[in-house]
Each structure stands twice: as C-alpha cells, then as structure tokens.
Amino acid sequence: MIRVEQLSKDYGGLIALRDVSFEVGRGEIAGFVGPNGAGKTTALRIIAGFIGATSGKVTVDGHDIASEPLEVRRRIGYMPEAAPLYPEMRVMEYLSFRAALKRVPRRRQVSAVSRAMQQAGVEDVAPVVIAHLSKGYRQRVGLADALVASPPLLILDEPTAGLDPNQIREVRRLIRELGKEHTVFLSTHILSEVESICDRAIVIDRGRIVAEGTLRDLQARRGAVEMELLVVDRGGRSAKLVENSPGVETIEVEALGENRLRLRVRSTDKTSPDALMESLVRILVENQVGVRGATCLKARLEDVFSELTRAETTEAGPGGAQDWSKPAG
C-alpha cells in the first residue's frame, strides 16, 4: 500500500531523513516507532503529501506522490498529532465542512459524516462545540475527519499523545477496529502501543531505519539472551562452574539466603539458548548443586529498542542521543 524508496529530507542543513526505505502492505496495521526527533512526523507528512521530500520516491497504492498527488491524497486519511480542529464549530458541522473540502459528493456527505462519526465513536457529541470536548473526544473527532472520505489508508501521527490511560485504551481499541477495514500506518514512541495495536513495526532513529519486522522478529534480534537459574549451593561452586561453561558471556550472582542463589546468565549465542540452559543445569547437577528453577528470559521490547538505537552510528544525527527508557511527550 505504501512504498517508500530512499527518501531523504533536508530542512536547510538539518537532515531529518536519510535514505529511508520501507513498505507497508495492504491491510496491515504498521507502527512507525522511534524516539522524539527521529523523523517520524517528517516521513508521515511527506507520504500524506503535506511537504515535499528532498529526494527519493513514495508511492501509495501504486500512485507516485510527486506525479499524481491528488490520486494519493484521495486514498489517505491523515490525522496529525494535534488535529487542526476549528474549536468554535460543532462536531457535525466541522465534519460536514471537512467532507465538502475532501470533495465527498454532496449527496453522500450526510451519510459519510454519520458513518465516520459512528466509526470514531463521536455520535453522542455530534451537536457539541469542539472547544467544549475533552482531549480524548477531540482526538476521536480527528479520527472521524481522517475517515470521512472513506480512504483505504489511515496515517495517524501519535494518535494517543496526551490522552489519559482510559482514553488511550479506547483510542487503541478503535484503531484495532479500524484496522479490519483500512490499512493503518501510525507513528508512536510508546512501545506498548506497538505491542497492543500493530502487526509489524518499522523502527527509525536519527533519520534512519534501524529495524523492521514483527515484534517477534524484533525480539529475536536481541544481541544477547539471558537466563536465570535458581540454585541451592552449599559448596559455593555454582558461579564458577557456570562462568567457565562454553557460551556464557557474563554472570550475575544474587544471594537469596540459606545457600540459595539466583544466577543471571548472559550469552551471545542466540541460536540455541535451550541447549545452553540444559547444559548448565546438567553441569550444576553433576557437581552436586541443587537446581530449583531455570528460565530463559524473553527479551523485553524496551531492551531490544534500546539496543537497536544505541547500536546505531555515533555520528550526530538530528535528534542526538535518545533515551528509550524515558519516552517524552
């Protein structure tokens, strides 16, 4: 549905996108993930036809954004981070105005507006002045706006930014629902958003794509595997035995009292973590260490992203160093 090839954007010396290429398939809900300043909004605005690229090519449903901009815009419902609503208008009035602007034929405007209001869950506030709405409802009006011309592709820039936890849950549910009928491409810096909504993630950092794939693919990219062993070690030999085993990179030992220890083992051998764990258990048991538990720790998505973004080039990018553990905004 979306094909981006070697896209670059230079804001007069500040390079926001460098040779970015990716695809979003029809029917997918894809997340565009990256820290603040990574270039997400810039890419989305280019795809939606609001700003031009410095170089590269974007096609939407086979139409080139440079040579067929109207064909592309007809296929896209774009929700910017702060939806530019007219606060003095009533919801229904605003959506009718937007439907007319988007060239929805006059005879279909009433049904298009009521369908969009129903899809976005704003029917009950149809007569309310936008300025009187809560932020969550305003966000939904932004969604209704993106939906009013029934575009096959929805592009949503940080759709839950600034909402409270209940509103976030509601908007995420809505997006999942919309994903049944539309291709959705949304940006976020909140990893749980990707986990709860998206089929696939495209990770951007400092203007470059650093990874893409399903969440499982991304977790598998983790540079190391970690496992935890709970042992009863009267002879005090377990840590040395584990440390000297092939495949073990580092080990952390936590004393739990009464000869019980928690051994946290890190290995860079990602191909056979189960085999490594079995061999460690065998070595310990053969040496009279009691093993009470052994767990292979699943890579947390936060760790994966922080490894991906830290592993990137040290060359100073537009956003500088990013801290994934404390997403701002």
Sheet strands side by side (includes 2-11): 14-24, 2-11, 55-60, 63-64
CA-based torsion, 156, 162, 168, 171: positive or negative: negative
Taking the least distance from each CB to ligand ATP, the nearer of 73 and 206 is 206
Instruction: Name which of residues 168 to 207 contact ligand ATP (CB under 6 A).
Output: 189
Taking the least distance from each CB to ligand ATP, the nearer of 16 and 48 is 16
Instruction: Name which of residues 118 to 157 contact ligand ATP (CB under 6 A).
Output: none
Contacts 24+ apart (CB under 8 A), 180-184: 182/77, 182/151, 182/152, 182/153, 182/154, 183/1, 183/2, 183/24, 183/25, 183/26, 183/27, 183/28, 183/29, 183/152, 183/153, 183/154, 184/28, 184/29, 184/30, 184/153, 184/154, 184/156
Taking the least distance from each CB to ligand ATP, the nearer of 40 and 200 is 40
CA-based torsion, 312, 318, 322, 327: positive or negative: negative
The minimum distance between CB 305 and ligand ATP, in angstroms, equals 14
The minimum distance between CB 324 and ligand ATP, in angstroms, equals 12
Instruction: Name which of residues 28 to 67 contact ligand ATP (CB under 6 A).
Output: 34, 36-42
The minimum distance between CB 27 and ligand ATP, in angstroms, equals 25
What's the one-letter identity of residue 218? L
CA distances from 221 to 48, 137, 272, 291 (A): 31, 38, 14, 29
Taking the least distance from each CB to ligand ATP, the nearer of 149 and 184 is 184
Count residues near ligand ATP (CB under 6 A): 14
- Report the distance separating Cα 115 and Cα 148, nearest Å: 8
Are the C-beta atoms of 292 and 238 separated by less than 8 Å?
A: no
The answer to whether 162 contacts ligand ATP (rule: CB under 6 A) is no
Instruction: Name which of residues 78 to 107 contact ligand ATP (CB under 6 A).
Output: none
The minimum distance between CB 44 and ligand ATP, in angstroms, equals 8
Instruction: Name which of residues 3 to 22 contact ligand ATP (CB under 6 A).
Output: 11, 14, 16
Going by C-alpha positions, the residue among 145, 2, 151 that lies closest to residue 75 is: 151
Are the C-beta atoms of 244 and 309 separated by less than 8 Å?
A: no
The minimum distance between CB 281 and ligand ATP, in angstroms, equals 45
Taking the least distance from each CB to ligand ATP, the nearer of 41 and 119 is 41
Per-residue contact flags (x/-) with ligand ATP for residues 309 to 328, judged by CB under 6 A: ---------xx---------
Taking the least distance from each CB to ligand ATP, the nearer of 32 and 94 is 32
Taking the least distance from each CB to ligand ATP, the nearer of 33 and 241 is 33
| Site residues, ligand ATP (CB under 6 A) | 11, 14, 16, 34, 36-42, 189, 318-319
